[in-house]
Structure 1
Amino acid sequence: MPLQPMVSGRRHMVSAGHWLATEAGHAILEAGGNAVDAAVAAGIALGVLHADQVQFSGVAPMVIHLRETGETVSIAGLGWWPQAADVAYFEQNHGGTIPQGILRTVVPAAPDAWILALERYGTKSFGEVAQAAIRYARDGFCVHPVMAHFIATFAENYRRWPQNAAIFLPGGEPPKEGDLFVQADLARSLQYMVDEETAAAAGGRLAGLAAARAAFYEGDLAVAMARFHAENGGWLTREDLAGYRSVVEPPVRRVVDGTEVYSCGPWCQGPVLLQFLSVLEGIDLKALGHNSAAYVHLLAEAMKLGFADRERFYGDPRFVEVPLARLLSPAYAAAQRARIDPARATPEMPEPGNPALWNAADPSLVGDTSYVCVVDRWGNAVSATPSDTSWESPVVPGLGFVPSSRGSQSWGRRDHASSLAPGKRPRLTPNPALAIRPGEWVMPFGGPGGDLQPQAMLQVYLNRTVFGMSPQEAVEAPRFVTHSFPGSFEPHAYHPGRLDVEEPIGRDVGEVLATMG
């Protein structure tokens, strides 16, 4: 039996990383909005309610399925490095690492991504979807346990910048669970975008959305961000901001046992989930037994192989050639599967495979943090993973937000697929996914967790599709994760051979796994 009851709905459903964000999305659905409108409302609200781990000015990758046309698309919602960024600076001054601070900043992408989604696929105005977030920021909300924990954990980081401390350490100390948390500057920034939209509303909804976007990327907010960077040794300029645009693009697609699974492209780690599934395809996982030692071992080894390829090949495809079609081909998956020893764990990250040896897959088959997913009454679905922390780079005074610090997921040296370069995007950990079994169901899925995201997503997906668990049971079932690869975040920590197993899986399983290495 699951610990929590499974919630169901007959018209629409929304789930988000904070119940008030869920409420914001649900209110939009009840007001006649579609899944995109609701996801944007919930996502913007998370930038207030989870401001420790989600910034309105951060990242917002998403996958959108449109029932009427049958189309599935992705929006990157990931910014690129400013034009002044220089990998040589980090090589010469920081030994090839990218330290915390203002130089981690990439162009904020989430505002543009949310507005692009509304323009292309939504029905509501920015003011309508941002209304709840503005209210939560202006009037405050009760600090929840996760937020209290993370702010306390990173209190010294917040103290590095007085403007960060003023927001996140009110009175000089981390807020306690239940305290009222107000973000007045952020409320004003969001309201400014709404006011600019309202002023342009005579031109119609799209003109208003364009004005809201311009308020952030060209107006007073852009001026303040660029000025702060110029005065504090940063690289972000007004030209960087004005020149940024998210794009709508086909997601990566893989059909597994009749189910279509979609992820964002290799500018994030999303396709690694499809590689996991490709390696496992054709194996009778159910016969191994859920969370048995053999099952845990097999999945862990498959995940190590996928992460090895991620480290070798994944990066911004505008800058590096990612052999994605070959990485997802059945022949390559079979070759990778054959590398797994059923009785012995690889002691460290294995060597990446050699996709050049194999033909590409059929093109039709390819294409910390919070999370929100929505399915509406028309069958549209959205899976989105907004993110970016507030403790590793400075808040812009008066604006209430940190321009995206996602540069922490680039590499400050030239020999990596995700090395930084002007205009290049870091390789992102947030990786929303969406699965469709034609004629039966659609399942948006994702979650927080950095490098743990695709590992947890794999297990939840298999819990649902292989072991027949309800959605609630699939999420609650105990999980395991490997750390036998370099982490995506600076300093890219690597723990060869480490496998974490949640206690309910059982000590006996852990002991068997220990004998396997």
Structure 2
Amino acid sequence: MSETPAVWPAPSPTLYGTRHSVSSGHCLASAAAFAILEAGGNAVDAWITALRDYGTLSFADAAMRLAADGFAVFPLLADGIAKRQAGYRRWPANEAIYLPDGRPPIVGERFVQTDLARAIRLMIDAEATSGGYLAADDLAEFRSRDEPVVSVRRRDVTIVTCGAWCQGPILSEALAIVEKHGIEGMAHNSADYIHTVTEALKGAFADREHHYGDPAFVEVPLERMLGEEHIAARAAAIDPARAVDGLPPSPIGGSRPLPDAISADGVRRIGEGGTSYVFVVDRWGNAFSATPSDGASTAPVIPGTGIVPSLRGLQSRPDPAHPSGVAPGKRPRLTPDPAIAVRDDGSVMPFGCPGGDMQVQAMLQVFLNVFHFGMDPQEAVDAPRFSTWSFPDSFAPFDCLAAHVFLEDRFDEDVYADLVARGHDERCWPAYTRDAAAVEAVYRNAPTGFLESAADPRQPAQAVVS
């Protein structure tokens, strides 16, 4: 596990608006999306397939301007490139973009992507002329699929996630296990609460490891895993006094062997760090939630384009017998998992974050902060976080950290000792760290008509409302 210095924490109040709202992991992305809304666009106008089916504007050129004109390097970008510079140096095209002058960029310098700007201009021109270098036949085999969502109710809220081709259903399952076990009477971020949520997450992560994969290739018993009998069994297996070492066994179809556990000190990779998140809620009530993700330190830039082909093959297991094992045409089991919570009164909360295997953990905590503990969105996002790593990492080489629990350095002192006494291998993060993910959320409050928007101080995120 890496530790990112807490250089952005300046928690802000929840922002209120009545027309539309956007929040993302960086202020420039939020500004670009907000400009689309102000120009009359709707909540899906920045996403190609959704744009085609539901949007109201043509391909926007905000990204081209940012690529051509550049933007000021910010601490998260500078730190990330410096950590991953060995990867960028593997390919000349990557090095030319990300290591200009042969070194990582410095905070405050202008970061320009000339080749990417040129490629985006070609796309804009092709759209305008209905032409381009790729004919329809070139892409005939590919489709962005419209797939059913996974919906789980928690009292008066329905939480909607993507399917088992990503880790989205873990959020639904862990929430159901927590609800079944019960956290009534537990103080927020007390040792009892942290232990219960952590053990619930272990159960959900166990089901991910043993069963999740591309549903087009794998029979995923998702209905059983989210069914009352399985949720009750997972909840009953939580020992209030003792942590499970590793992952609990699977009650459905048996368990797969797990890799040997290692210490966090022996983790063998630096995360790619290429994930972002954006939500948009527009004046018509449309809500959009997306977690785009890919990086450039573990895959080559196509020379002259500034574009990186997807590196998500890193998340396919080399064993083809594994549910997420590699196979021709098969999607890897991805980590990005945007979500939307819908309340019976018509209120809506799109939310999500970057963070690999931390995503669902941070999102679960923010959801409970809002809907169980009654926090406003910004308070819910700012609250200190904890995490478990008792499962094989989603990225090669799939390290497993057994009983490790990481906590931001803002909990009561007695909490740490209590968790250790229950068998957790407690580790401490800085007070605010992007390793704990960076959740963006907006609550469209139907009774009041307000948009209550939050941005995570763990990265240079920005919420904008109108």
Please say if 1:481 is aligned against 2:375.
no
Task: Between 282-291 and 138-147, report the one with greater CA deviation.
Answer: 282-291
Please say if 1:6 is aligned against 2:18.
no
How many residue pairs get matched? 395
Whole-Å separation in 1 of the counterparts to 2:229 and 2:184:
23
Give the deviation of 1:189 after TM superposition: 0.7
Give the deviation of 1:355 after TM superposition: 7.0
Whole-Å separation in 1 of the counterparts to 2:72 and 2:232:
51
For residues 88-237 of structure 1, the aligned pairs below 5 Å read 114-126=47-59, 129=60, 131-200=61-130, 215=133, 218=135
Whole-Å separation in 2 of the counterparts to 1:408 and 1:374:
29
SS in 2 for 1:504: coil
Given candidates 343, 348, 351, the residue that maps to 2:241 is 343
- Structure 2 residue identity aligned to 1:155: Q
Please say if 1:268 is aligned against 2:171.
no
What per-residue deviation string (whole Å, max 9, x for no partner) do you get for residues 122-170 of structure 1?
11111xx2x1100000010001111101000001111111110000000
Residue of structure 2 in register with 1:17 after alignment: 25
Task: Give yes or no for contact 2:181–2:235 (8 Å, CA) kept in 1.
Answer: no
Given candidates 407, 410, 417, the residue that maps to 1:504 is 410
Give the deviation of 1:218 after TM superposition: 4.5
SS in 2 for 1:422: coil
Whole-Å separation in 1 of the counterparts to 2:284 and 2:129:
32
Task: Give yes or no for contact 1:314–1:418 (8 Å, CA) kept in 2.
Answer: yes
Task: Give yes or no for contact 2:20–2:281 (8 Å, CA) kept in 1.
Answer: yes
- Structure 1 residue identity aligned to 2:357: D
Residue of structure 2 in register with 1:86 after alignment: none
Task: Give yes or no for contact 1:309–1:353 (8 Å, CA) kept in 2.
Answer: no
Residue of structure 2 in register with 1:89 after alignment: none
Please say if 1:287 is aligned against 2:185.
yes
For residues 362-373 of structure 1, the aligned pairs below 5 Å read 368=273, 369-373=275-279
Task: Give yes or no for contact 1:301–1:345 (8 Å, CA) kept in 2.
Answer: yes
Give the deviation of 1:350 after TM superposition: 1.5
Give the deviation of 1:330 after TM superposition: 1.4
Task: Give yes or no for contact 1:323–1:355 (8 Å, CA) kept in 2.
Answer: no
For residues 376-391 of structure 1, the aligned pairs below 5 Å read 376-391=282-297
SS in 2 for 1:8: strand
Residue of structure 2 in register with 1:78 after alignment: none
Residue of structure 2 in register with 1:77 after alignment: none
Residue of structure 2 in register with 1:451 after alignment: 357
SS in 2 for 1:288: coil
- Structure 1 residue identity aligned to 2:345: G
> Structure 1 length normalisation: TM-score?
0.74
Structure 1 runs of 4+ aligned residues shifted over 4 Å read none
Whole-Å separation in 2 of the counterparts to 1:331 and 1:378:
40
Identity %, equivalent residues: 53
SS in 2 for 1:308: helix
Give unpaired runs (5+ residues) of structure 2: 1-9, 255-272, 424-466
Whole-Å separation in 2 of the counterparts to 1:497 and 1:167:
40
Task: Give yes or no for contact 1:36–1:118 (8 Å, CA) kept in 2.
Answer: yes
Give the deviation of 1:382 after TM superposition: 0.5
- Structure 2 residue identity aligned to 1:499: V
Give the deviation of 1:495 after TM superposition: 0.4
Whole-Å separation in 1 of the counterparts to 2:385 and 2:354:
14
- Structure 1 residue identity aligned to 2:116: L
SS in 1 for 2:17: coil
What per-residue deviation string (whole Å, max 9, x for no partner) do you get for residues 168-199 of structure 1?
00000000111100000001111101101111
Whole-Å separation in 2 of the counterparts to 1:257 and 1:434:
15
For residues 229-378 of structure 1, the aligned pairs below 5 Å read 241-354=139-252, 368=273, 369-378=275-284
Whole-Å separation in 1 of the counterparts to 2:210 and 2:197:
20
SS in 1 for 2:276: coil
What per-residue deviation string (whole Å, max 9, x for no partner) do you get for residues 333-384 of structure 1?
001111110100001112123279xxxxxxxxxxx41100011111110010
- Structure 1 residue identity aligned to 2:344: P
Please say if 1:36 is aligned against 2:44.
yes
Give unpaired runs (5+ residues) of structure 1: 41-113, 201-210, 220-237, 357-367
Please say if 1:470 is aligned against 2:368.
no
What per-residue deviation string (whole Å, max 9, x for no partner) do you get for residues 411-443 of structure 1?
111231000111000000000000000224100
Please say if 1:490 is aligned against 2:396.
yes
> Structure 2 length normalisation: TM-score?
0.82
- Structure 1 residue identity aligned to 2:43: A
Give the deviation of 1:468 after TM superposition: 0.4
- Structure 2 residue identity aligned to 1:398: G
Task: Give yes or no for contact 2:320–2:327 (8 Å, CA) kept in 1.
Answer: no
SS in 1 for 2:298: coil
TM-align CA RMSD: 1.6
Task: Give yes or no for contact 1:303–1:455 (8 Å, CA) kept in 2.
Answer: yes
- Structure 1 residue identity aligned to 2:283: R
Whole-Å separation in 1 of the counterparts to 2:378 and 2:251:
36
SS in 2 for 1:445: strand
What per-residue deviation string (whole Å, max 9, x for no partner) do you get for residues 223-270 of structure 1?
xxxxxxxxxxxxxxx96x552110112211111112010000100000
What per-residue deviation string (whole Å, max 9, x for no partner) do you get for residues 452-491 of structure 1?
0000000000000000001000000000000000000011
SS in 2 for 1:336: helix
Whole-Å separation in 1 of the counterparts to 2:57 and 2:146:
19
Whole-Å separation in 1 of the counterparts to 2:11 and 2:102:
38
The structure with the greater share of residues assigned to helix is: 1
For residues 401-412 of structure 1, the aligned pairs below 5 Å read 401-412=307-318
SS in 2 for 1:296: helix
Whole-Å separation in 1 of the counterparts to 2:120 and 2:241:
56
Give the deviation of 1:401 after TM superposition: 1.4
Please say if 1:461 is aligned against 2:367.
yes
SS in 2 for 1:243: coil
- Structure 2 residue identity aligned to 1:121: Y
